[in-house]
Every structure is written in structure tokens, then in C-alpha cells.
Amino acid sequence: MLNWSKISTVLLDMDGTILDLHFDNYFWLHHLPLRYSESAKISLEQAKENLAIHYEKVVGTIDWYCLDYWAEQTKLPIQALKREVQHLISLRCDAHDFMVALRESGREIILVTNAHPDSLLLKIELTQLDKYFDVLYSTHDFGVTKESQLLWERLQGKQGFDLGNTLFVDDSINILESAQQYGFEHLLAVENPDSQKATRTINSFPSTSDFRTLIDEIRKNPIK
């Protein structure tokens, strides 16, 4: 599925790829609507509808991922509300062994997340995910998201990876298509980003529901 003998750098998404997406889905679809309904004195159903319409308007843009934007729009302390359900933040069950195998193989490991820097810091605090990576990037530092070709251009300019030797892993098909358009040679989709939802069938990219199935090939092909 993947030719690990030609992969020396691995770019990894965070939410839904290394971390269980259940926290984010629960927060944005249930917890924030609940707090918003209480604050705005509207029904929970109306709050969900209002937020869903707003989400749709900005999805894929930097605003969609920006905690400051949503704090301004809802007049709520988003980061504080996230802490109310922070117990749901966790690594995927297959992430640790996979990440250790990548590191032991000598590959460069880079986190590239659309998450706001404050969200990234919260998740580092609770999971210590930073220990697995050589460098961690929030796309907010570049002013554009992974959906944009400009992000890849700016990231490659800063990090200097070779598209022919780099694997990019994400749970978003739209983002994988963006990376494919930019010219990444190796791409991998995550079939089960949310542990509480059914595994998806993905036909457009190589995909996996368990990173541990990749470990043997990673170990067979260390970076010399």
C-alpha cells in the first residue's frame, strides 16, 4: 500500500489522525450548542441550527478553525468551554505504537494541524503528543489552511521537505485532495477518525483504520 523505502518524512494531521476526533465532534456539535443556547436564551435545537448554518459558511477557512473567531461570534469563552469536556481528549488507541515505530525508524515526523494554537496547546497539555514529533505546526501561523495550495507552498518553503519522499496522513478527503494537487507522492487516509462512529470506506486514497498494521513495514525499512 505504501512504499516505506521511499518515505523519509511523515507529515501528520492531529484531530482524527493522531487524536480521537470524538472530542471535537462532541464539542462543536453538542457542548457548544448547549452553552450557546443557555447564553442566548434560545432552544438547544435553535442553537444547533444557528451554529450549523454558520459552520457551513466558513468551513475550510481559517475562521472555521479559529477559537478567537468563534469566541467573538458566540460571545462565549471557547477555550474555557473546551476545558469543561477536556476529559474526552485522547490519543487514538493505535497512535502510540505507530508513532514510536516511526521515530525508531529514523524518519522526520512533523505535525501539521489546522487547529488553533490554543487548541494545540491544550491537547499537548493533556496528551503530551509533542514528544512524538520533531516539529509541530498550526496552519494559523501561515495564515491559510491545508485546504489551500498556498499553505503547502509556505510550509515547504519553511520546512524544505521533498514531495517524492514525504508521506502525508489526514482524515479529511478534501485536505488529502489538496495535498495531492500540490504534488505529494505518498498519501494515506484515516478511515475511522471518530472512535464513536462507524469506519468509512475510502476508495480515492490508500487508507487505514489501524496504524499498527503499518508497523512491520516501517521497521523493515528504517532510514539509513
pLDDT digits (tens, 9 = 90+) for 29-48: 999 999 999 999 999 999 99
- Residue 189 sits in a domain of what CATH number? 3.40.50.1000
* Of 42, 70, 87, the domain-final residue: 87
pLDDT digits (tens, 9 = 90+) for 114-150: 999 999 999 999 999 999 999 999 999 999 999 999 9
Position 87 scores a pLDDT of 98
Q: Are residues 49 and 159 in the same domain?
A: no
Q: Are residues 107 and 70 in the same domain?
A: no
Q: What is the pTM of this model?
A: 0.96
Count the domains in the chain. 2
CA distances from 23 to 34, 38, 62 (A): 15, 21, 20
Q: Are residues 70 and 166 in the same domain?
A: no
Please report where in the chains the cell 497512535 appears, as a residue.
95
Q: Are residues 103 and 214 in the same domain?
A: yes
In the predicted structure, residue 1 carries a pLDDT above the cut 90? no
Q: Are residues 16 and 59 in the same domain?
A: no
Distance CA 165, CA 88 (A): 35
Q: Are residues 176 and 192 in the same domain?
A: yes
Question: 224 pLDDT band (50/70/90 cuts)?
Answer: confident
Position 117 scores a pLDDT of 97
Q: Are residues 10 and 109 in the same domain?
A: yes
Half-sphere exposure of 5 (CA within 13 A, CB side): 1
Q: Are residues 120 and 197 in the same domain?
A: yes
* Of 52, 87, 122, the domain-final residue: 87
Q: Are residues 12 and 108 in the same domain?
A: yes
pLDDT digits (tens, 9 = 90+) for 55-109: 999 999 999 999 999 999 999 999 999 999 999 999 999 999 999 999 999 999 9
pLDDT digits (tens, 9 = 90+) for 176-213: 999 999 999 999 999 999 999 999 999 999 999 999 99
Q: Are residues 194 and 143 in the same domain?
A: yes
Q: Are residues 120 and 212 in the same domain?
A: yes
Position 199 scores a pLDDT of 97
Domain that holds residue 56: 23-87
One-letter amino acid of 167: L
